[in-house]
Structure 1
Amino acid sequence: MNVDSLAKEINRQLALYANFVEEELDAVAEDVTSKAVTKLKQTSPVGDYAGGGQYASGWKVKKQKGRYIVHNATNYQLTHLLEKGHATRDGGRTRAFPHIKPVEVETNKDFEKELIKRISE
């Protein structure tokens, strides 16, 4: 085997591995974001301040330019207000309902764990 054929074979194997990793990355991202949406639907606040349940049911995932984005399609305006709380007209503050950050942290850990698991098999 000469050096040129060895280099071509190494490049071919690296390209195959890169394609494999890319496919696994996409599959893991899709799985993990679907689970995140389910978790957000379960943990989102429900009540008059949250649209009576429309907010919780509005969580969706969309793929845009190769990225998976979890968003609230029905009441996106409420995400920050409910997560962090906000000032009221009388100078007080509303209660915060932290429901996005815990799911984000869990999803990031799950993504990393699952990707490492799938790639190392």
Structure 2
Amino acid sequence: MAERVNITEMADAIQEGLLEYSHLAANTMKDCVKQASTVVKKEIKANAPVKTGQYQKSWKVSKQRETSTSLHMAVHSKNRHQLAHLLEKGHVKRGGGRVQEFPHIAPAEEKGRQKLTEGLQRGLQR
């Protein structure tokens, strides 16, 4: 329900409302970033090439930096990071020829971007 304020208190009331909205938006954004990074990790694990399974199991999500208004998450391979680019893009063999590429990171990134956008739109419309 709307709250009545005097004209002299209107600036304070508007400022308070905007501050409340910014806190809600920041919390919604942080939740959406966490969910999107988890989706990216699951997609990479599901679509990663499997030889021994170690590369597939090595993916994790970690928080890089968090402030009151932002959150930076990273999805990365803990101990097999050297393979990520080689498997994603393919590479030249030592004796000639090329190794087939296995695009598994880019599609997961795109799915995470869509999940983030949808979550932000849904969360900020409430």
TM-score, with structure 1 as normaliser: 0.91
Which structure has more strand as a fraction of its residues? 2
Partner of 1:20: 24
Q: Which residue of 1 aligns with 2:62?
A: 62
Residue number in structure 1 paired with 2:114: 109
Find the aligned partners of 2:106 and 2:63 in 1 and give their Cα distance. 21
2:124 matched residue in structure 1: 119
Q: Deviations over 1:44-103 (max 9, x none)?
A: 0011xxxx1110011100011121111111201100000000111123211000000001
In the superposition, the TM-score normalised over structure 2's length comes to: 0.88
- Shift of residue 35, structure 1, vs aligned partner: 1.9
Tell me, in whole angstroms, the C-alpha distance in 1 between the residues paired with 2:39 and 2:105.
Answer: 13
- How much does 1:120 deviate? 0.3
Say whether residues 1:2 and 2:7 are aligned partners: yes
Structure 2 residue identity aligned to 1:30: K
| Number of aligned residue pairs | 116
Distance of 1:39 and 1:105 partners within structure 2: 10
Deviating runs (4+, > 6 A) in structure 1?
A: none
Q: Which runs of 5+ in 1 are unaligned?
A: none
Q: Deviations over 1:5-34 (max 9, x none)?
A: 111111111111000000011011111211
- Structure scoring higher RCO (CA < 8 A, sep ≥ 6) equals 2
CA RMSD of aligned residues (A): 1.0
Q: Give aligned-pair identity as a percent.
A: 32
User: How far apart are residue 2 of structure 1 and its match?
Assistant: 2.6
Greater helix percent: which structure?
1
